[in-house]
Each structure stands twice: as structure tokens, then as C-alpha cells.
Amino acid sequence: MPTFSREEIVHLGDLARIALTDEEITRLQGELNVIADSINKVQEVASDDVPPTANPVPLEAYMRPDVAATPLTQAEALSGAPKTEAGMFVAPRILGSEE
């Protein structure tokens, strides 16, 4: 059962370029040891006949069929707009206004 020493925690902090206080080193040492213990418990249960998985539920990409459809005409697209001009949507100016 591997345990992290204070020196290893300080070394990890140096690698990450993080200055750790003595209190943080002690706390991280405990937390990393709990994580290592948990990993060891999983390793004890895992065997060669259990395939490794990232997700216990198989994930599939559900995609709709790519069916060609007739696009809207310009008039149909503009029909619900509150204001149009020269075949385009008209929106209030929000950038560069003098107000």
C-alpha cells in the first residue's frame, strides 16, 4: 500500500510550481494517501476477465438521418421579422452608436 511522503508532496508542488505551506503539505499527504488507498481497493477487485471501461453504460452517438430538405425561401425566412430592408433583417445598432 503506497503512501506519499512529505518529500514527495514537496516534490510534486515543485513540479507544479506551487508553493505549499506545511499545513497544505500535511493535508495533501492525507488526501493523496486516501486516493491511493481507493485505487488499490479497485485494483484488488479488478481482474483480467473484467474489461476496462470509461463508462459503465455504452454510449452511442445518436444522429438523425441526413435527409435533404427544401430550404426556406428568402421571403419565408423574412416573413416573421419585425422589420426588413432590401431583403435583409433590420436590427437596432448596439455597437458604435452615439447614444
Could you read off the pLDDT of 32-89 as tens digits, one per residue?
999 999 988 888 887 777 777 777 777 787 788 889 999 999 999 999 999 999 999 9
E strand intervals along 1-99: 84-85, 88-89
Where in the chain are the domains?
Answer: 6-44
Burial environment of residue 9 by CB neighbours within 10 A (0 to 12, 13 to 18, 19 or more): buried
Q: Which amino acid, one-letter code, is at 61?
A: A
